[in-house]
Chain A
């Protein structure tokens, strides 16, 4: 191929392409992202499989995951130690499942894991309440939360044990209309937009939007601070 990259050997890249839904370029880009997360931890040379793990706190701050209410759960369910530290293999695995081309069945399996907060292999009332509270930022009253959770269990639970097994979950998801299913666990694939903005309208097209958002955030945090001071 004559490429000058020495991050991976060709065999490694081929193996990754066999095991994920990514192309060669995307894998290299993913490595770049991974390296960015912790430049002092992650080596640039991966030809001999270094045993490196990046902690949860760093991964959760990636722009793809930052706004996701289930970010911690996503990362945790892909880590082998269950605490959210991801090696590069797990990192690639995560993005492969979250990519657009991954089949829905695979996504459903991991979605079940993600929504199963207490990892007891069932989505029970407790899990549903947590899910709902994260989705709505806890703006529903406890009665409403209870009603919604009970309703959804009533709808989807087939075996009458008042919690959702994977079979129930899969059945429910497989019956969902396409446009709902489409977005189940699909991230914008590893693209590197940077949220850094420079000073000058024309140099960076994101300037206006981002400065606006930044100010809004500042305002909100200021309000919160003043509230707490009172």
Chain B
């Protein structure tokens, strides 16, 4: 029985006319009648001649007529059921129906109804199928006419539905194939293709999407090949096949790429437990890991590997051998841990590299490669950071006004990522306080009762923080000075603490000062978000101060080593003279083979700098891990298990569990990276070490967070694009490349170690390469180009360009603000206008309603045709209920140009026209502005380099 109904509904003209709906209706009946579906489908879709279709329909009719042999009551029942079935269909039906105007739906309904009546009459009179067919054809024409009418009535037909109707009508025209039709077909095919691509973003239910997808794929399959004639056809077919393969390949690639993103699951897991701010740290960590991986690839592939494989082996030269005096303890763990002994005389450090111009059978230019990798590391880092910043700025451009304060809070404050009851509770609390705060702000604009006290406290807090900073700076300077004294005495005479004092003090300061700042900042009584920024700024200043004190101390050390080097040079000549004298006495022919370990050598300040940085990184890593284990894990264990036998509640009382400190961890990461950038030139192993460290800390911190931290009490919403971190990273990058570049440019390299030994300055390697490896004219051109007469104008032009871009960006900004203001005033005006219009419309509606009810009452009283009225009322009921159901989707699919269902006739579009014109302007302006900013960034980077 059900099958029969399905066929009925399916062969209904409305459905038949629209292949999409037809297919849908048949599908709805179940898959048991696939064959029939196929045939019907082909008949309608391919658009065979009218007669054939008629025959098909007659067959179906006769089949149906069998079922109709019964009394009229049963038939009526059947019709009722049919109604229901149709209703169901419609309810689930794709929005094709919904997109239509209400009036149109009603008309269709009426048309269907009248047709049904005629059918019933036909059966009653015992007419055969043919007249039925005639009727059918007529009603179909009517249907078409109505459709056209409906189209005219539509305010805005969405493009999707248009494509459907095209898809439905085109096949009928296919036989002719004039040029025009071909064009149309092509358009339709393109339309379908576009539809498939954009299908994801459509707000339709999945079932509709799937059906549409199948439909359009079949359509494409059928008509893609039909386009073009003769040779063109084949080419077109080939193109289509290639396109398909390409799409498939792209999809596979996409799948592969997403599978390749590391730690996605871990981060998602954390995100769902702790909210987005904690997760943003881990995303940042992963990004950093990626950058370090590339830096590691550069240094490892172009510097360390070639030297290890093709350079002279260990022990062949003095710089590649452990000196005789250190040989005894060169393999001790303590020495290796300090990166002395064999570790010092290896590819890990600057001093090991030879100044031979080309090494191995590849004639690899080692010193040049070393220099270029050093420059490339910095350049690449700048590029990545700036590019990411520009992209982020692009993403969150604009939107800085606070005109929607409350509504934004209302609709966007819930963090949908939260999946943990504790975090959710905290979030509820924070939202509540947030609302209360803004209510208070709204009610009284400014609270000024104890403003003097808060001011005093803030000044006091800042004073205390400054004291802390100065103290820590002095402490580090003092310790570094003392360690130099120890170094002069010889490290062996001192205890472990005295040897590692500098690193330990720096790590301890980095650990305890932030806590102190936290305590101090509670004096200030800031809003948590502002407080967090202050906290970040202070820690940043602390770390920076520490780092620069360290660098200054290091500079002193470098100068000391260089004076030492001069002394060694003098000694060296004396030693060589002695050696020469000795040989001339003993054996007159040739130089005596002196073991390279015995040759006296300079102190090699470059290796010393590299060692210092490596030690710093190691100790920093260790303190991080150890604080993690003690401060988080052991504390959690203690709190958890001693809570059973303790006098107060440990979990809620004093120690409690620790929170994850996002700001501190981010800053740690950034400074760590700064040290890498600073030291990577003198210790090529640093990126490798950092990759290792980041890898381990990813796992360790993920575990620690999930295991022993509790969600933050103040749950912040972090942005996905963390430009704040990026800005800090850029500052650090600049500050850390500054000293590195200073040492490279101003200090002459050591005479007996490293790839640049024997040269006056390190960058001389470029000039040397130009002279020997390039043709003469190139060197000439280069020397002309580097002539101050050319360089100065170039710099001038660059400065002018920057100035120009900056001023244009400023004007854009001003224009942007202007437009925004205009927009706001416009909005307000529109509001007023619309209010008036709405009131007017409401009054009119009221009148119309009153009139209608009056009329209806009179009609009811007059006429005796109860049945008709009840049926029509039912009809109206159905339509109105459908209207109600369709309303939201209708509203949504049309977007801005929506019909106001309460006041039919008043279009809400009206008030939006002004904005629709202006918004693109603003967007374009903003985009231009961003492009300008991006260009400026790049230019600045070039200027810096």
Q: Which chain A residues in 1-50 approach chain B with CB under 8 Å?
A: 14-15, 17-21, 23-25, 48-49
- A140 with B399: in contact, given A160-B834, A188-B419 (CB under 8 Å)? no
Asked if residues A183 and B717 are in contact (CB atoms below 8 Å), the reply is: yes
Tell whether A69 is near chain B: CB-to-CB under 8 Å: yes
The digit string for A199-230, where 1 denotes a CB below 8 A from any CB of B, is: 00100011111011100110000000000000
Check if A25 sits within 8 Å of B259, measured CB to CB.
yes
Contacts of B651 in A (CB 8 A): 212
Asked if A159 and B911 sit within 8 Å, CB to CB, the answer is yes
Contact A23 B254, beta carbon cutoff 8 Å? yes
Selected from A89, A103, A205, A208, the residue in CB contact (under 8 A) with B207 is A89
In the complex, B879 has a CB within 8 A of chain A: no
Q: Does B558 count as interface, using CB distance less than 8 angstroms?
A: no
Known: A158-B831, A160-B838. A186 touches B417 (CB 8 A): yes
Quick check: B269 and A191 within 8 Å, CB to CB?
A: yes
Q: Is the CB of A180 within 8 A of B912?
A: no
Once the chains are docked, how many angstroms separate the CA of A89 from the CA of B719? 31
Nearest neighbor of A128 in chain B, beta-carbon distance: B410
* B710 at interface, CB cutoff 8 A: yes
Q: B558-581: which have CB < 8 Å to A?
A: none
Q: What residues on B are CB-neighbors of A131 within 8 Å?
A: 410-411
Contact of B908 among A17, A115, A159, A183 (CB under 8 A): A159
Whether B796 sits at the interface, judged by CB under 8 Å, is no
Nearest neighbor of A164 in chain B, beta-carbon distance: B407
A160 CA to B258 CA, complexed, in Å: 46
Query: B-facing mask of A125-164, CB < 8 A → 1, else 0?
Result: 0001001100111011000100110011001111111000
Distance in angstroms between the alpha carbons of A216 and B657 in the assembled complex:
13
| Chain B residues positioned under 8 Å from A139 (CB to CB) | 428, 432
Once the chains bind, are B419 and A172 in contact (CB under 8 Å)?
Answer: no
DSSP class of A's interface residues: helix, strand, loop or mixed?
helix
Given A90-B206, A113-B892, A172-B408, does the pair A64, B439 have CB atoms closer than 8 Å? no
- State A166–B428 Cα separation when bound (angstroms): 26
Residues of B within 8 A of A158 (CB): 827, 830-831, 834, 911-912
B422, B423, B435, B640: the one within 8 Å of A208 (CB): B640
Distance to closest chain A CB from B868 (angstroms): 32
Check: A98 CB closer than 8 A to any chain B CB: yes
Contact assessment for B412 and A183 in the assembled complex, using a CB-CB cutoff below 8 Å: yes
Q: A178 and B255: CB pair below 8 A?
A: no
Contact B908 A167 (CB under 8 A): yes
A73 to B412, CA, bound (A): 16
Please tell me if the beta carbons of A187 and B210 are within 8 angstroms of each other in the complex: no
For A106, the closest partner residue in chain B by CB is: B201
| B832: interface (CB < 8 Å) | yes
Asked if B399 and A177 sit within 8 Å, CB to CB, the answer is: yes
CB distance from A128 to the nearest CB of B (A): 7
With a cutoff of 8 Å between Cβ atoms, the chain A residues found around residue B838 in the complex are 159-161
Segment 709-726 of B: residues with Cβ below 8 Å from A: 709-710, 717-721
**Is B928 interfacial (CB 8 A cutoff)?**
no
* Residue on A nearest B27 in the bound complex, by CB: A49
Among the stretches B55-63, B488-496, B513-521, B700-708, the one at the interface with A is: B700-708
Within 8 A of A (CB), among B34-87: none
A160 and B831: CB pair below 8 A? Answer: yes
Q: For A188, give its contact among B268, B413, B703, B834 (CB under 8 Å).
A: B268
Contact of A156 among B271, B404, B720, B832 (CB under 8 A): B404
Determine if A151 and B442 form an interchain contact, defined as CB atoms under 8 angstroms apart: yes
Q: Looking across the interface, which residue of chain B has its beta carbon closest to that of A65?
A: B419
The yes or no answer to B924 lying at the interface (CB within 8 A) is no
Q: How many A-B residue pairs have CB under 8 A?
A: 264
Interface string of B428-471 (1 = CB under 8 A from A): 10011001100100100000000000000000000000000000
Tell me the complex Cα distance, A6–B196, Å.
25
List of B residues within 8 angstroms of A110 by Cβ: 203
Convert A83-127 into 0s and 1s, putting 1 for each residue whose CB lies closer than 8 angstroms to a CB of B. Answer: 000000110110010100011011001111101100111000000
Query: Using Cβ atoms and an 8 Å threshold, which residues of chain A touch B209?
Result: 19, 93
Known: A140-B435, A144-B439, A158-B830. A172 touches B205 (CB 8 A): no
Shortest distance between the CB of A72 and any CB in chain B (Å):
14
Q: Is B608 an interface residue (CB 8 A)?
A: no
**What residues of A have a CB within 8 angstroms of the CB of B272 in the complex?**
63-64, 188, 191, 193
| A70 and B414 within 8 A (CB) | yes
> Are the CB atoms of A156 and B707 closer together than 8 Å?
no
Whether the Cβ atoms of A144 and B408 lie closer than 8 Å is no
**Complex Cα spacing A189 to B271, Å:** 10
How distant is A200 from chain B, measured CB to nearest CB, in Å? 12
Which residues of chain B are near A102, meaning CB under 8 Å?
200-201
Residues of A within 8 A of B657 (CB): 208, 212
Q: In angstroms, how far is the closest chain A Cβ from the Cβ of B175? A: 31
Residues of B within 8 A of A115 (CB): 411
**Which residues B344-371 have CB closer than 8 A to chain A?**
none
Q: Is the CB of A64 within 8 A of B419?
A: yes
Tell me if B630 counts as interface (CB < 8 A to partner A).
Answer: no
Chain A residues positioned under 8 Å from B414 (CB to CB): 68-70, 135, 183
Cα A152 to Cα B413 in complex, Å, equals 14
Listed residue (A18, A69, A92, A106) with the most chain B CB atoms within 10 angstroms of its CB: A18
Q: CA separation between A158 and B269, bound complex, in Å?
A: 41
- Please name all residues of chain A whose beta carbon is closer than 8 Å to the beta carbon of B439 when the two chains form the complex: 144, 147-148
Q: Mark interface residues in B213-252 (1 if CB within 8 Å of A CB, else 0).
A: 1100000000000000000000000000000000000010
Query: Which segment, of B181-189, B845-853, B895-903, B937-945, faces chain A?
Result: B895-903
A53 at the interface (CB under 8 A from B): no
A201-B637 contact, Cβ under 8 Å, with A159-B834, A161-B838 = yes
- Contacting pair A175 B196 (CB below 8 A): no
Q: What A residues does B269 contact at CB under 8 A?
A: 188, 191, 193
Given the interface pairs A15-B213, A96-B200, A167-B908, the reply to whether A187 lies near B399 with Cβ below 8 Å is no
Contact A132 B410 (CB under 8 A): yes
Asked if B861 is at the interface (CB within 8 A of a chain A CB), the reply is no
Bound form: Cα–Cα A216–B269 in Å: 22
Given known A-B contacts A158-B831, A158-B834, A176-B408, A183 and B416 have beta carbons under 8 A apart: yes
Q: Is the CB of B528 closer than 8 A to any CB of chain A?
A: no
Contact of B406 among A48, A152, A178, A186 (CB under 8 A): A152
The answer to whether B640 and A212 have CB atoms under 8 Å apart is yes
State whether A155 and B411 are in contact (beta carbons under 8 Å apart), knowing that A139-B432, A182-B719, A205-B706 are contacts in the complex: no
Residues in chain B near residue A109, CB distance under 8 A: 203, 892
What residue in chain B is nearest A189 (Cβ atoms)? Answer: B268
B201 and A103 form a contact (CB under 8 A): yes
Q: Which residues of B contact A106 (CB under 8 A)?
A: 201-203
Taking A49-B31, A185-B416, A216-B422 as known contacts, 20 extra A-B pairs with beta carbons closer than 8 A to each other, sorted by chain A number, are A14-B251, A18-B200, A25-B258, A80-B91, A80-B205, A92-B206, A110-B203, A121-B901, A135-B410, A135-B431, A140-B432, A140-B435, A148-B410, A158-B830, A161-B834, A175-B399, A177-B400, A181-B399, A188-B272, A213-B421
27 contacts between A and B (CB under 8 A): A18-B199, A19-B200, A48-B31, A68-B418, A80-B91, A106-B203, A132-B410, A135-B414, A136-B428, A140-B432, A140-B435, A144-B435, A159-B908, A166-B891, A171-B915, A172-B404, A172-B407, A176-B404, A178-B720, A179-B718, A179-B720, A181-B399, A186-B417, A207-B707, A208-B707, A209-B273, A209-B706
Closest 6 CB pairs of A and B: A178-B396, A179-B719, A160-B835, A89-B206, A67-B424, A152-B407
